[in-house]
Amino acid sequence: MPAPSRRAVLIGGLTTLTLTTGGGAWALDRYVVDHVEVADASAYEESRGSDGAELDTSDAVLTDGGWSADGTTISVREVTTGSGDATVTYFVAELHLSDATVLRSAFAQDSFGTNIVDETSDIAEQNGAVFAINGDYYGFRETGIVVRNGVAWRDAGAREGLAFHRDGHVELYDETATSAQALVDAGVWNTLSFGPALVADGEVLDGIDDVEVDTNFGNHSIQGDQPRTAVGVVGDNHLLLVVVDGRDTGYSAGASMTELATLMKGLGALTAYNIDGGGSSTMFFDGEVVNRPSNGGERGTSDILYVKG
């Protein structure tokens, strides 16, 4: 039987909370019940002037572990290191983009809000993606700047984020020192709000194994060996999207933050950033999930990064 989803786990915990404290109704509303702020998000983006590049896929070429179309190439490979209980298996997608806006974001159920989820593969298929990874699970929290496909969705700076610019460069930035609209005006196409940053200026950052992403109800520690998803930046329009499997003895033990950072540096990333992991960590390519999500199946998430194929 597949492991329970985060939502199922929360519901179980919140039932207990209701019985013991009487506070469960509030917690259910905040952390489980869907709150749709904008339905038909793709139409809203169009109305706000989202104008990303469209790949000409008429001559797309798909090979074993690779895809190319209109100057954009994607290669996906599986890597296994170690042995026995220390075995770690991870998947590396190397993207060379003809235009930075080819890498898009999509929301679960094409709706923006909190607690709205769908599986990465379903969101990918609904958007015609040839490749996708889970995003930052923006919908689990009410803080963090959210800019997606050139549109400002949320302006609640709280942490260090990652900004993808239309000109192809990607950088770490302080959310509390700017605004969502200022980022859009400066040419930011997408942002991610999770963390921590793993690599900066080609060096592994100190203290990352002690970082807590959230302190709100329902947060799970991100320390220790866990499944992971990370974004690495090699250069302009040259990205590494990595999923590390975990919680599966003999197949993959997962990685600590420092191990993930070291892996990303070793792959050539000058900048790297951790996004939602655990049961959310999922990589989709050519119509199927290529990794083994740790829940025994995909866990619902609120968003993906993808390339349309």
Phi, psi of 31 (to 5 degrees): -115, -5
Could you tell me where the beta strands, DSSP code E, fall in 139-277?
A: 146-148, 151-154, 160-165, 170-174, 188-192, 197-200, 203-204, 228-235, 238-244, 271-275
Cβ–Cβ < 8 Å for 304, 107: no
Residue 226 is classified by DSSP as B
C-alpha span between 35 and 115 (Å, rounded): 7
Q: What is the DSSP letter of 143?
A: -
Query: DSSP 3-state assignment of 99?
Result: coil
* Residue 205 pLDDT: 98
Burial 230-261 (b: 16+ CB within 10 A, else e): bbbbbeebbbbbbbbbbbbeeebbbbbbebbb
pLDDT value for 217: 44
The answer to whether residues 200 and 269 touch, using CB atoms and an 8 Å cutoff, is: no
Are 238 and 71 contacting, i.e. CB atoms less than 8 angstroms apart? no
| pLDDT per residue as tens, the chain (309 positions) | 334 343 433 333 343 444 445 556 766 655 567 688 999 999 999 999 999 999 999 999 999 999 999 999 999 999 999 999 999 999 999 999 999 999 999 999 999 999 999 999 999 999 999 999 999 999 999 999 999 999 999 999 999 999 999 999 999 999 999 999 999 999 999 999 999 999 999 999 999 998 877 654 444 557 899 999 999 999 999 999 999 999 999 999 999 999 999 999 999 999 999 999 999 999 999 999 999 999 889 999 999 999 999
- φ/ψ region of 120 (left if φ > 0, alpha if ψ in -120 to 50, else beta) reads alpha
30 is written with which tokens? 């905040």
What's the rounded Cα separation, in Å, for the pair 32 and 13? Answer: 11
Under a CB-based contact definition with an 8 Å cutoff, are residues 204 and 258 in contact? yes
What is the C-alpha to C-alpha distance for residues 186 and 177, in angstroms, rounded to an integer? 14
Q: Which residues pair with 74 in a beta bridge?
A: 67, 95
Report the b/e string of 162-177 with b at 16+ CB within 10 A.
bbbbbebebebbebee
In the prediction, which pLDDT does 31 show?
A: 59
| Separation of alpha carbons 210 and 198, rounded Å | 12
